[in-house]
Structure 1
Amino acid sequence: MRSLRRAAEISQSDVASGVGVGDSTVAGWELGSSIPDQEKLPALARVLGHQLDDLFPRVGPPDLKDLRCDAGLYRKETAAIIGTKSDGPVAGAESGVRRLRDRYIPALADAYGVTPEELKQAQERSFAKDQDREQDHDEAAAVEEVPRTLAAKITLILERSYPAGAPGAEEIAEAVNAHAGASVTTAEEIEDLRSGKKEDAAPVVLEGLAEFFRVSRLYFEPADAVPLQVYEGLRLMWDVKEGKVGRVRARGLGAEGLPAGVLSILNDLAAELERAERDANR
């Protein structure tokens, strides 16, 4: 900004006057201590003698907020444009919560300098961005939540599943031994597994832990094995949802695919969904 302003022999006061802000605000922009509102960019580009898209290039087509800001309008100003008491309808559409009513579209399109069809397309991009944000948030939360080590998995269950008081290592060891029908572990080993001092356990111990905590045995599988199972399950259920699957097969994945028991359950699910759909269409 400073280079362009000086090249055009324009003072900070001239820029401030043209954009409608104070001199100190322009100084802050040039120093990098603050940035202009997106709504100010069109006026700033005009004052500096450049096209908006050249001075502030955008990646991808505009969404609803982009169109409004390109017109130099703050959201609160849109209430008068569409004839409502507040800017709620525009706020909802920009955030991907609720689409604009048809009667608002011509007036907004005219104010934004675009066609009604262009405005509708921008609205769909706003909704797509909101879905992407939700997905990113969910994925980030999942990454934070999924425990990777055996100690973390045990700790997570103890912390989340027993609000009235978690069982002790001795109680867990007794339950695992009872499940195995033999002495396969001790309270000391359970405590070592929970603390991370011991990083793995015999399969029979893991089976007993899964039985005691009432979770799938897959929960205690190595981290790289679980995502594959989850991925295949999600892919299969998506196909069912899309109506692409009748009876489900292992798709030639062999040992790397879903376990036979899981496939059997999902087969039954797919068949049940087919029956329900046929009944609904009768």
Structure 2
Amino acid sequence: MPRQFDGRRVRAVRRGKDLHQKELAEMVGVSAPSVARWESGQDFPKGEKLPAIAAALDQPLDVLFPHDGPVDLQLLRCDAGLSVAEAAAIIGASRAPVSNAESGRRRLSDAYVQPLAQAYGVTEQELLDAQNCSFGLRSSASRDRQSSAPRTVGEKINYLLEYGYVGQEAPSEEEIARLVNEHAGMTAVTADGIAALRAGDTTEASDVVRAGLAHAFQVDMPLFQDDAQVDPKVREFMESLRFLASIHRGQILGLAARGNSQGLSAEMMAHINQLVGELKHKLPEAHGGE
């Protein structure tokens, strides 16, 4: 699945909308037990179901289900709400051309580019850029987007939740609000307030809330300060999280294996191990036991 899925967040949003699991299931086109398994973490929806879930919960897709990295073919297809079989039917072919292109094995025939671009709701160039990404290549625009650091309080919360808790359970909006309020010694923010920051509905946060967020995520206070230019130390910390998360998820090793049948060289492995050793101390204290 190309996007991040948090069943606890889906459950919280669903309850906030006063929807029962059966009602959400009917809106998405699945069974109520399927929704129950998603929310409990026992199972995950198919990627092409995420747009329908977000629409049913009246949430922006990128906020409810953020994605890591630039756009590839699988993300385009899933965001269009199409399965591999449905995409294949659009181009009048078997599943093989779609699957092979998404997995970086064989590029799409020129005849397939225009109909797929139209079905995915993108330009032909955007589809070709996504195909390059599926083959491990990135356009300069994608690299620029990838390298940009989060600036607003909400963007930083989302970033820390996405990259700071790989391999362990991230705190919910309710838990974040509780930790902030405990640190403040008062009710400084609600779970809805955290959700509004994450969604970009508001960018305002008091110094008390910012200090509480730093406490909740166990990071230095400057990370949650407004900044026209991202502080170099803050940016280094953010990139450290992204780098270690990518290693944990196998993205770096997976890309290397796909591009080189012999995998990573001993020199490259040594370099990565050195970087991990240098960067690991920058992670929040909560990760020290991993």
TM-score grouping bracket, smaller chain normalisation: 0.3 to 0.5
Q: Which has the larger radius of gyration?
A: 1
Q: TM-score, with normalisation over the residues of structure 2?
A: 0.46
Q: TM-score, with normalisation over the residues of structure 1?
A: 0.48
**Structure number with higher relative contact order (C-alpha < 8 Å, ≥ 6 residues apart):** 2
